[in-house]
Structure formats: structure tokens, C-alpha cells
Chains A and B, each alone.
Chain A
Amino acid sequence: MRAPLAAARASAVLLLAACAGEYPQTTFEPVTDFGVLINEVFAITVWWTMGILVVVLSLIIVAAIRFRETPDSPEPEQVHGNVKLEIAWTIVPAIIVVMILVPTVSAIFETQRRPSEDALTIEVIGHQWWWEFRYPEYDVVTANLAYMPTGREIHLQMHSADVIHSFWVPRLGGKRDVNPRPRQAEGEAQHSTHLLFTISEPGRYAGQCAEFCGDSHAIMRIEVEAVAPDAFEAWVADMKAPPREPLPLEGDTAATPAPPPGALPVPTGTGQRVSAGRPDSLIFEGKRVFSSSTCVACHTIEGVSSGPLGPNLTLFGRRLTVGAGALPNTLENVEAWIRDPVAVKAGAQMPGAERPWGAFPATGLSDAEIRAVAAYLTSLK
């Protein structure tokens, strides 16, 4: 079992080398116990089935070449079958199937075991088309970018607010559907689906919804920031810290420079959320506009607003993207999003400056106000 596994890893590495470059959503390089275990089972299947494939294809090629009609080939013997042979090629595949089944079934139960006592439970709620993450243990809620500590068992407890989604971050292991909860009778347990894993390496891991869920299914991406336990605690503290008023900053009269695309925001660990900019700056103005417009009906920013419907925007500036993967998180893109979300992402359930959504009227924000709000949001780090 170990030898083919090593070989499978070697061939995966070869393949990756051959293709050159990084694959953020590869299944070949798991960073969890869950991902590693299922790849081991996969390797067993791959080796057995590749063996069978080679045998079958070779036999077909040999038969095709050796028994091709030639001018002097004799009339073939009219064989109708051969009981011994047929028993053989029933039994041999049956044995191979058993060889595959034993580790497979054991892995089914291993990966769907009960979470341990000290597992960190994260409630994952799928929405059309974004992700909500709730940390009941810490009373923290966030969206689209989930922080997870390394070295601690993580238990994702998942359900959907609307249609069926599927949570898939390939480097954390397999996916699991995120189903809406049928209304239950009084006292009956609520249905959830579960994933269980322990992350071994810090890093940023990309994923996305894997179950077709309507218009913008393709733009329902997940970022997971796996950090050491102390950095995780620091993030929790940042999330819960009272919002600091915008800081005076020399020369800041316009926007804070947007983070370069792809840069990993580093958790500050200061225990306070930083929002740079002085009281007369754009950021300060942005906060004022945000708090006094319809934004607050849907969006929560810890200590500023408590809208329950849309993604929580606390520490929004740390996210790589706006709109759950619609665009990179830059000032211009956030502006474009606030101006007209539906133009950026089909079906986005949010009103724009001029376009209402559902029962929500258009926000009516001016370009200057949009710019200010965008500057404020991207400054929340």
C-alpha cells in the first residue's frame, strides 16, 4: 500500500512539473489529514485500474495486429467460449474489487467519524452566491474569507440559506453539499452536512462552490486563510475589537492605496482594527456614507452596523476579492461593484446606485460617495 502511494505521489509531482506552475485548486497536494487519507485510497484504485487498463488495451492491440486478415489466413476455429477462462476473468476482477473495497470502506467511516471534543466548529452557510462563516465558539461572523487555525480539528457544520451548494476547497480535502434545511417539527434536530479535517500547513487555500446553484454559480469562491493558533486568536481579537476611528495620516487626502493584487494581507494582531485616514479624509467620509445609507440594512461591520442579510464586511480589506470572487479587491473594483453589482456578477442580489434589487430600492449614491465607501471598505484591515 505504501509503495504504490509513494509512486502515485511521484507521478503527481511529475505531472505537476510537466505542466509547470502552481495550481491553487489542485487535489494532488492536500494539506489536511482528510485530503491525505482519501488520496491514499485513490492511489490504490489508480494503480489497480491502470494495471487493468494496460492489460486490456494491450490485448486489444495484440489481437488487432496478430489476427488481422491476410490473404492466406485460414478460416478461424469456431470457438463458442471457454468456461475456465470466463471463470478466471470473473474471479480476478472480483478479487481486485475486494482489494479496492477494503481500504475504501474503511476510509468512508474514518472520514465521516464524529468530531472530537475540542474541535473548532465553524458554521458554513451557503447563499446565492457567497459564503457565510460563523464561529459560535468566538461569537464571530465573517464571509467569503474564512480564517482557520492549523493543528486543530476543524468541524464544518453546513447548511444553505436558499438552494443546494457544495463546499469545496480541494487542498483541504473533498467537497460536501450544503443543503437547505427543510422545516423541522418542534424539537427535531436541524439537518446539517459535515466536513472534518485538521490543517497541517499555514497558507491561503482557494476553493469554490461545486454544485450548480444558478446564474453565478461560477462566481461563488471561497478563500481559506490557515494560520497558526496564536495568529488565529489575533484575528478573532481583531474581529471583535471596537472599531477605531480613522487615524490621522500624513498627506492622506484621497484614498488609501489599494493593496497590490494577490498580496496576502497579514493579520495585524494589534487587537484593534485599523482604519487609516484622518477625519476629513475620504475614508472618514466613506464611513459616514456607509452608516447613513441603505448599506446598513444588509451588511454588518462589527461596531458600525448590524444588517443581517448580506455578507459581513468586518475586515473586508483583507479579502482578495470583492463579490465572492467576482473581481480582485481593489478600490476601482469595489467602486464598480457598489455602483452596479449585477453588471459585475449576473444575478447578484444587491441594489446598485441606480438599479434596485427585489424589494430594495437603488442606493442612489453619487460617484463621489461610492468612491468614499469603497475607500472605507478597502481600508478595513
Chain B
Amino acid sequence: MATLEAHAPPAAQPRGTRSIIWDYMTTVDHKKIGILYFLTSLFFLVVGGLEAILIRIQLMRPGNEFVSAEVYNQLFTMHGTTMVFLMGMPIAVAFFNYIVPLQIGARDVAFPRLNALSYWIFLFGGIFINASFLIGAAPNGGWFGYANLTSSEFSPGLNIDFWVLGLQALGAASIMGGVNFVATIINLRAPGMRLMRMPLFTWMAFITSFLIITALPVFAVALFLVTFDRFWGTVFFQVSAGGDPVLWQHLFWMFGHPEVYILILPAFGIISEVIPTFSRKPLFGYAVMVYSAALIALIGWGAWAHHMFATGLGPIADAFFTVSTMIIAIPTGVKIFNWIATMWGGKIRFTTAMLFAVGAVALFTVGGVSGVMHATSPHDLQQTDTYFVVAHFHYVLIGGTVMGVFAGIFYWFPKVTGRFMNETLGRWFFWLYFVGMNLTFFPMHFAGLLGMPRRIFTYAPELNLTTINFVTSMGAFLQVPAVLLLVYNLWISVRRGAPAGTNPWNAATLEWATESPPAEHNFNTTPVVHSREPLWVEPAKMEEAARGPMEHIHLPPPSYWPILTAAGVVATMALFMTNLWWAPLIGLAWTMIGAINWAFEPTH
């Protein structure tokens, strides 16, 4: 087995750009992969945001001709697809990667090379699906891709091909990641870290990974059915042959609803770390927080058809899914009250991270409340497919997920870089974003209830929705300088941020015992844990384990087979589009060569 000395470059020696790039291309270190995931997701956040801005320019006034119907349909499809699959999920995985092994006292994830493979498939898949813009054929069937609009009959172009093949690759990457984190969390916890001593963030990573493993395959199956229909003439969704497009809706939402929790639970985890730290109190009702999240995930599996109240499933199905959906409100409410109770009686420091965490709780509650309104299914017939729903899920996914992620960025940045982010810029960022976000999405509630459907590239002036849409667009534009401020803050803080030390926030969890940034091997010796808040209860022992005398450590060596195998996987998908039966076999052979070489690669 390779030893640490063989692979950790001496810190003092400056490295050239080429050597850094090669290092990252071949890395199997969870921290470097985490950084790659983070930067890529941030890039796609900007791409998806840009698509949103173009959408808002188009809708700024009725009858606008800024973009055509065809282009608009591509923009909103890619906005949704990008934000869910290329930003929302991978940015959570970025945090899982960097933080989870540190929080449980592990050297790395269970399968480091598989981890690298996940990342590279995600990157190549994201590039592949966006490459469609270059030939003017970006996916245009909505992020939900309802059959039978996606069939060759109604969408003959390459647009939907890019979508089904690209998402198939991205889904595979997510499933590998999910398997990896479940294996990591079950097997690699430090001695003494029982399940009920795990930090809440790790718990959320654990539950989210289970959801990924179970939900993404359903989506994979659905995508395969469409792929078969489009490429090989099967008739799963073709009505003239007895196929039923409503089947797609069931499959899609059976995945799509757990997906909502895949997107929100990691943010819940971040919030559950940030609020206790800056309130100087342990998380209120730890066990209930764990159980409620598990319950949300479990019941979330029985709520999918609340996306389909207008489909016409009949009163019995509607009643069942109304009840199951409403029940989810209860554990969700418990979490919100427990966060507030954690703050209650504490000694609260409003750093930027804390501002975002508390802001996320507040805005998520707004989204939760409109969620209960949708669950009132008879009236959902007015709400669904309108801007009321758009308002709802942006409060959940931007108010909850993205704000939670921003909290996480400011919170863990000192651990990752050894430097603080600029707090003054951070506050500006928070308030700009908070105001911009509300200005964008709050008026949408009324746009919807006053009759504006979703996914329309234009609307009639006599609908009298001009003012609401104009205000919404202004709010969206306000988010642009906010996000630029974040990017600028990251840029300057990496270089010139104030040195932070190992545990600048005086947090309780294990990752704060390590160096900032952590050594490649994380902990010098494996810590032995006796409580939920190891750094508050026995800080000296934990620091000794992390930074004291070093034991003999084995680390997996870097490998270029993951990136090559990933390229093979995505090439297989891309070559399908040639419509030559043998072309995908080239990609498949490439993948096999990668996998075989990987399997026989010496790691000793």
C-alpha cells in the first residue's frame, strides 16, 4: 500500500498550474473532489441563473419578442434541468464529499475512485447536455419531460435525445455517489461514533443518499423507456399502440417527489450545524430531528401523485395523496420549531452563515405554507401549473436549499481554505439576495392566482399581469449583483482572507479538530468519540487525534482511470445520437477498457 510520504507533496514547494491540473484530474481525495464538485456546481448556478434572467427579460412585458417560443421553451427546460441536476444535487454532494468524512473521523470515502468517477461523469454529462445549445437544439420538453410530447412524433429533433441521454449519465453518477456515501457512513465512522452521535449534517447526507439510491433508478427506468421509444421504436408512451403517457407522470414523480427531499435535506443538515454553533447551544431535540427527517423521506415516497391532482386520477387517489402530503407537514413543522428552540435562550452571533441559516428557515416556512395550500387538492386545480407553484418551489429551493447552501459556504470556507470570507461583503450579499429573492418570487404567488400559467413564452396584455411580471423581473435582476458579490468574495477571500485557525466558530463537530485546510489524510490518528459534541466535550483529545503525533497512514494513490472511464460512459451516450447501431459500442468498449484497467490497477 502506498504510504502517505509517497503521495503528499511537500507543502513548501510551489507547484505549477499544469501539475495542479494533473493532480485534480487524477485525484481520489474526497476534499479535492468536493472542491471540484463545488466549483462546477457554482458554474452551473451561474448558467442556470443566466437562463432565468433571459426568461425574465422575455416576460418583463406582454407580447415581448426578445426570444422566440422555440428558444423560450429551451430556456425554461434547461433552467429547470440545470438547477436540479447540475446545481442542486451536485452542490449538496460537494458538501457531502468535503465534510462527511471529516465529520465521522474517516480518511476518505469508502470508494475513492468511484467518487472520482461520479464527479467526472457529472462534469461530462453536464457539458454534453449543454452542448445542445451549440447546435440550437437544447432540450425543450420541460424538466419534467412529460410523455407523449417527448416522443419522436411530437419532438422529432435532437433536443429530447440530449435530455434523455444526458440525464441518464447524470443519474448514474448520482446513484454511484449515493452508494458511496451510504457505504462510507455505515462503515467508516470513528470508534464511538454511534449512529445517534453523528452530526446532523452527516445524518442528512445518509438519508439523502438512501433517497438517491432508491429514487434515481426509477427515473433511470423512465428515461430508458423514452430512449427505447425514441431510438428503437418501442411504444411505451405511444397512444395509438395502447401506450399511456400518464405512466410517465407516475414514474417521473415517483422519482421527482423524493428528489425534492434530496434537494432540501442537505440544506436542513447545514442549517442544523450552523444554528447550534452560532447560538452556542446543542441542537434542540437531536433525536426528533433525525426521526422527523427519516419520516419525511419515508412518507415522501407516498406523496408523488400530489403533482398530479389535475391529471384526473379520480377522487380516491386524490384523497389518499392529499392526506399523505398533509402528514408530511407535521415532521417538517417539528424541525422548524426545533431550530427556533435551538436559538431560544442562546447567545446568537449573526455571522453571514447564521444570517443565511436563519433566513433559510424563515423563507422555507413561507414555501412550506404554500405547500400546504397545494395539498388542499380541490384548490390545487387552480394553483397547479401556474406561477403560484413557481413561487412555492422557489421559496423552498432557493429560500431553503440555496440559502442553506450559502450558509454552508460561509460556515465551512475557513475549514477548506484556512481563511475567513469577508463578512462585510457577506452581509451585503445576504441582504441584496434576500431582498432580490423576495421581490422575484413573492409577486409570483399573485401572478398565479390571477391567472398566469407556467411555461408560457408570452402573455396577453389584457390579462393585466404586466406590473407583477415587471416587478418579478426587477427582483431577478437584483439577484445578479448579489451572486457576483459572492463570487468576488470567494475569489478575494481565497487569496487575502483573514487567517482562521482550526476552529474559528468554536463549533462542536469533528471536522473542526483538523488543520485548516485539513491534511490530505485528515486525522493523524483516528479519534475516539464519546459524545455528539466532541469538540465541546473533550476538545483536547480530539485535537490530539487530528493534529498530534501521526500513525502510519495508507492512502489510495491517484488514478486516471476514473476520468477515462467517465469519458467512455458519456461518449456511449453521445454516440447513440449518431443513430448508427455500432457507434455506442465504441463508447462501451472504451468504458470497458477503463473499467478493466481500473480493476487491475495496483493500489499497493
Contact = CB atoms under 8 A, between A and B. Distances in A.
Interface of A: 15, 19, 21-28, 35, 37-39, 41-42, 44-46, 48-50, 52-53, 56-57, 59-60, 63-64, 67-69, 73-82, 85-86, 89-90, 93-94, 97, 100-101, 104-105, 107-112, 128, 162-164, 166, 168, 170, 173-177, 179-184, 193-194, 206, 208-219, 221, 262, 325, 346-347
Contacts of B218: none
Given A80-B282, A108-B322, A112-B315, A346 B68 contact: yes
Interface string B457-482: 11110111101100000000000000
Contacts of B366: 53
A57 B358 CA distance: 10
B378 A41 contact: yes
Interface string B345-389: 111111000000010011001100110110111111110111000
B340 interface: yes
For A38, A77, A104, the residue with the greatest tally of chain B CB atoms inside 10 Å of its CB is A104
Interface string B257-273: 00000000000000000
Contacts of B330: 90, 93-94, 97
A109 B314 CA distance: 9
Contacts of B8: none
B243 interface: yes
Nearest to B359: A60
Nearest to B318: A108
A89 B287 CA distance: 15
A64 B463 contact: no
Contact of B284 (A80, A111, A347): A80
Given A89-B334, A218-B459, A67 B347 contact: yes
Closest 5 CB pairs of A and B: A174-B381, A25-B451, A193-B312, A218-B456, A42-B379
Given A97-B326, A179-B312, A76 B347 contact: yes
Given A53-B365, A89-B334, A105-B319, A111 B378 contact: yes
B248 to A, nearest CB: 10
Nearest to B364: A56
Contacts of A108: 315, 318-319, 322, 377-378
Nearest to B242: A183
B377 A76 contact: no
A76 B460 contact: no
B148 interface: yes
A111 B378 CA distance: 7
Contact of A64 (B358, B453, B462): B358
A80 B347 contact: no
Interface residues of B, number: 95
B361 A60 contact: yes
A159 to B, nearest CB: 10
Contacts of B21: none
Contacts of B347: 67, 69, 73-76
Contacts of A79: 281-282, 284, 345
Contact of A52 (B246, B314, B369): B369
Given A107-B378, A210-B386, A180 B323 contact: no
16 contacts: A19-B468, A39-B379, A56-B340, A74-B347, A82-B284, A86-B334, A101-B326, A104-B375, A111-B381, A163-B149, A164-B149, A168-B385, A174-B381, A182-B239, A212-B73, A346-B68
Interface string B102-115: 00000000000000
Nearest to B466: A21
A80 B246 contact: no
B385 A166 contact: yes
Given A104-B322, A104-B377, A175-B382, A166 B310 contact: yes
A59 B323 contact: no
Nearest to B354: A64
Contacts of B385: 166, 168, 175, 210-212
B327 interface: yes
A215 B319 contact: no
B329 A78 contact: no
B219 to A, nearest CB: 19
Interface in B369-416: 369-370, 372-373, 375-382, 384-386
A37 B68 CA distance: 39
For A60, A109, A184, the residue with the greatest tally of chain B CB atoms inside 10 Å of its CB is A60
B458 A100 contact: no
A89 B348 contact: no
B47 interface: no
A74 B146 CA distance: 57
A107 B318 CA distance: 11
Contacts of A77: 281, 345
A56 B491 CA distance: 36
Contact of B315 (A44, A46, A109, A208): A109
Contacts of A194: 312
A163 B322 contact: no
Given A19-B467, A23-B463, A182-B239, A67 B451 contact: no
Nearest to A94: B330
Given A26-B451, A108-B318, A82 B341 contact: yes
A218 to B, nearest CB: 4
B467 to A, nearest CB: 7
Contact of A67 (B346, B377, B454, B462): B346
A166 B329 CA distance: 28
A114 B334 CA distance: 40
B285 A81 contact: yes
Contacts of A39: 379
A68 B348 contact: yes
Given A80-B284, A217-B456, 14 more contacts: A28-B450, A35-B382, A46-B373, A57-B365, A60-B343, A67-B279, A78-B282, A90-B333, A100-B372, A168-B453, A176-B312, A180-B245, A210-B384, A325-B460
Contacts of B458: 218-219
B326 A67 contact: no
Nearest to B148: A163
Interface string B131-167: 0000000000110001011000011000000000000
B422 interface: no
Contacts of B361: 60
Contacts of A211: 146, 310, 385
Contact of B241 (A50, A183, A215, A221): A183
B230 interface: no
B389 to A, nearest CB: 11
Nearest to A213: B149
A210 B245 contact: no
B149 A75 contact: no
Contacts of B337: 56, 86, 89
B70 interface: yes
Contacts of B455: 212, 217-218
A68 B278 CA distance: 10
Given A21-B464, A177-B312, A69 B348 contact: yes
B344 A81 contact: no
Contacts of A52: 333, 365, 369
Given A27-B450, A163-B148, A176-B312, A76 B345 contact: yes
Contact of B376 (A69, A93, A100): A100
A209 B288 contact: no
Interface in B218-247: 239-246
A41 B142 CA distance: 31
B575 interface: no
B280 interface: yes
A347 B154 CA distance: 11
B365 A42 contact: no
A174 B459 CA distance: 20
Contacts of B318: 108, 112
A23 B381 CA distance: 18
B451 to A, nearest CB: 2
Contacts of A347: 69
B376 A81 contact: no
A288 B285 CA distance: 81
A166 B454 CA distance: 12
